[in-house]
Structure 1
């Protein structure tokens, strides 16, 4: 096929339109996962979350998205079997876009967080079965992807429990939770920065010239960033947080003084037993209040940390899941540009940017539906467990991005929310920490995602082949 053939231009144009709709659907259903816990805990408003997502989803798409996009467009199928039948592969990729987009829009309408990765992989397998049966499917790659769907929520959930257990033991249940939290802040900030800088520099973005950075240099840069951030937090953030907490401590002192004055008025006017009872009641009040205030102060320490981890989760999501939206589009564009199915060129930055923009528009318009499911309806989210959930999910997704494995960020975030809620959650009026009926609905949606998206894609591919 000649490059830039006018015969297939309509497929390219249609592909851009459907890919934008799919990116919109990915943003509406999936980008909300990055900020659901921050909005649910009250640390961010939905508008603030959308502004941050606009910056960091697009950044992640451009800087990290190329590697997973290559897996989506070339790793699942042996594209060489479409040699001399380039138009068929273009029809297939278009069918994958359509199948995935339809299913994601339906799931978003019902407020169900499903896997965009499941959707696009299922759609790709669907059209391939119609075109060539099982021939050409990279079963090993497909198997590793399928395995990651089960491993990722489990792994992310276990990491969440580990992180929260450390916070609970070293900070929340310490003799002085506030002081322990202030001491830990530089360490927590530093480690968070280390993980994310390492993810960017290690086999990093070709756009920034980081693809050939030696491992030792990548670790040196990451450790340096960790130390600098820890110093800045110790010198600036810790004193600032301490000043914010002091007014609350002052109220505690006033409350205690008023209680002692009240006790002195009762002394001498009632019997000894009555005095003892009043003293017991009055003395217990400031202790309870002081405990509540300490817990609230510790939660306040994690407000900005949760925002920071939400930003990194968003960055990771952009890097991993932009491929779900525009991986097939890149394949269509490369066939049109090069005239063959081998797609030797790398994923273009401008198409990654196109996908990132589509995702954030989807978040602004429809993202609140799934955002509420993640952040409010499964379990109660606080700044502490929200930070834990986002940290573990971000680490899991970033690791997968560097390995080129298109895992489900939805599975990671939901797995972490459920694990933390079930183990450490605060019981509400219904005496349960996780809405298990909602979780069962989500699991059902996960199970049907691949076959439903695959079936729509397969039917669309059959239709294309029948018409042409």
Structure 2
């Protein structure tokens, strides 16, 4: 096909419009997951979460999004089978965009956190089946992707439980939880930074020239960042947190002392600090609340990394097919040899952020409040485990579902925490979880069917 062929210009224009609409849906449904636990635990307001997501989702999309977008646009199907049929492949990618966008917006309307990764993969398979049957499907890549759908929530859930168990054993169950927490705080900050810097720099962003860093360079950067953050945390964060928590406890104690003489005032004081009367008399719950305060800023930090990882992974769901259409148009070939354009990744990142601001609160409420009760310690564990899983997959070029990772972590943490504590308020809403599972199951065939139908319409009405 000729370069910049007028035959596919309308597909490019429509592709830009639909991909922005899809990115909007990804932001409304998927981006809200990254900060769902932070908002649910009360560490951040939804507005604060949107501001942080705007910065770090876009950064992740630009710096890390190229690798997974390569898998989405030419890894699921063998594009070589469409040589000489460039217009057909462009129409197929447009069908995938529309099919995925329709399903994502429908799920968002019903406040269900579904996988945008499932959606775009299902849509791509759907148009391919309609266009060429099973010819051209890359079964090896598909098998890896399908396996990751089951492995990723399991990995995220297990790592979340391990992190939470370590926090409970080493800090919450210690004789002096606050002292143990303050001792552990710089170590936790340092390890969190190490893991995330390592995953970002290892085969990292081409834009920052990190793709060719030697292994010892990667570890040198990661260890340096870890030591620096650990020292700064010890010098500045620990004294600040100690003063803040002790001041808060002193204020709470004063209110409770007054409450012993005046029952009505005690009720008001208890509601003010969001702890019921029974909890005020329970030293264990008091110590847990104290430790949770230590994790307020840590949870914000982990949410930032989760958001960055999500931007790197899921921008491809909205922009991968558009990049394929654009490269067919500019190269006149289905092979798409050039790298994913940074400006298109930025375009997708902006669309996701707008979707979060406009409609993100719907799914955020489901993830942050309705599945289970979330505290800063559980939220931190969920976010770190999900970020590690998603970033690892991004480095391998595997488009996994960040939704599955986060929901898997929330459910695992909520269930285990509830069993340990024997506290019914911390257990999982299993009926809601079942509804989410059903939506996950339906996602692939629903998006695939919509895409296949559109491809059949294009095939018999527009192709030569």
Match of 1:376 in 2: 369
Offset of 1:72 from its aligned partner? Answer: 0.3
Matched, 1:336 2:329: yes
Conserved 8 A contact 2:95-2:454: yes
Matched, 1:451 2:414: no
Partners of 1:442 and 1:289 in 2: CA distance: 35
Offset of 1:255 from its aligned partner? Answer: 8.5
Matched, 1:32 2:32: yes
Conserved 8 A contact 1:39-1:49: yes
Offset of 1:432 from its aligned partner? Answer: 6.8
Q: RMSD between aligned alpha carbons?
A: 2.1
Partners of 2:255 and 2:334 in 1: CA distance: 75
Partners of 1:414 and 1:187 in 2: CA distance: 27
Partners of 1:434 and 1:413 in 2: CA distance: 14
Partners of 1:404 and 1:305 in 2: CA distance: 28
Matched, 1:100 2:100: yes
Find the residue that maps to 1:425 and give its secondary structure.
helix
Offset of 1:216 from its aligned partner? Answer: 1.0
Partners of 1:59 and 1:178 in 2: CA distance: 35
Match of 1:109 in 2: 109
Match of 2:409 in 1: 416
Match of 1:460 in 2: 454
Offset of 1:293 from its aligned partner? Answer: 3.4
Conserved 8 A contact 1:31-1:363: yes
Q: 1:354 aligns with which of 347, 355, 363?
A: 347
Conserved 8 A contact 2:279-2:286: no
Conserved 8 A contact 2:373-2:425: no
Q: Tell me the alpha carbon deviations over residues 296-344 of structure 1, each in whole angstroms, 9 at most, x when there is no partner.
A: 2211100000000000000000000000000000000000000110000
Gaps of 5+ in 1: 262-284
Offset of 1:294 from its aligned partner? Answer: 2.6
Partners of 2:257 and 2:409 in 1: CA distance: 44
Conserved 8 A contact 1:252-1:286: no
Partners of 2:255 and 2:451 in 1: CA distance: 66
Partners of 2:49 and 2:288 in 1: CA distance: 25
Partners of 2:20 and 2:334 in 1: CA distance: 22
Partners of 1:314 and 1:50 in 2: CA distance: 10
Find the residue that maps to 2:206 and give its secondary structure.
coil
Match of 1:141 in 2: 141
Cα 1:193–1:431, aligned 2, differ >3 Å: closer, same or farther? closer
Partners of 1:253 and 1:100 in 2: CA distance: 54
Offset of 1:467 from its aligned partner? Answer: 1.1
Matched, 1:404 2:393: no
Larger radius of gyration, structure 1 or 2?
A: 1
Partners of 2:454 and 2:260 in 1: CA distance: 78
Match of 1:23 in 2: 23
Conserved 8 A contact 1:389-1:417: yes
Partners of 2:432 and 2:259 in 1: CA distance: 46
Match of 1:267 in 2: none
Partners of 1:7 and 1:230 in 2: CA distance: 58
Report the TM-score, using the length of structure 2 for normalisation. 0.92
Offset of 1:195 from its aligned partner? Answer: 1.1
Conserved 8 A contact 1:380-1:425: no
Partners of 2:152 and 2:65 in 1: CA distance: 19
Find the residue that maps to 1:351 and give its secondary structure.
helix
Offset of 1:198 from its aligned partner? Answer: 1.0
Matched, 1:390 2:352: no
Matched, 1:345 2:332: no
Partners of 1:431 and 1:224 in 2: CA distance: 42
Conserved 8 A contact 1:379-1:425: no
Offset of 1:425 from its aligned partner? Answer: 3.0
Q: Tell me the alpha carbon deviations over residues 259-316 of structure 1, each in whole angstroms, 9 at most, x when there is no partner.
A: 999xxxxxxxxxxxxxxxxxxxxxxx99935544332221110000000000000000
Report the TM-score, using the length of structure 1 for normalisation. 0.92
Q: 1:365 aligns with which of 358, 364, 369?
A: 358
Match of 1:270 in 2: none
Conserved 8 A contact 1:35-1:49: yes
Cα 1:286–1:85, aligned 2, differ >3 Å: closer, same or farther? closer
Partners of 2:28 and 2:22 in 1: CA distance: 10
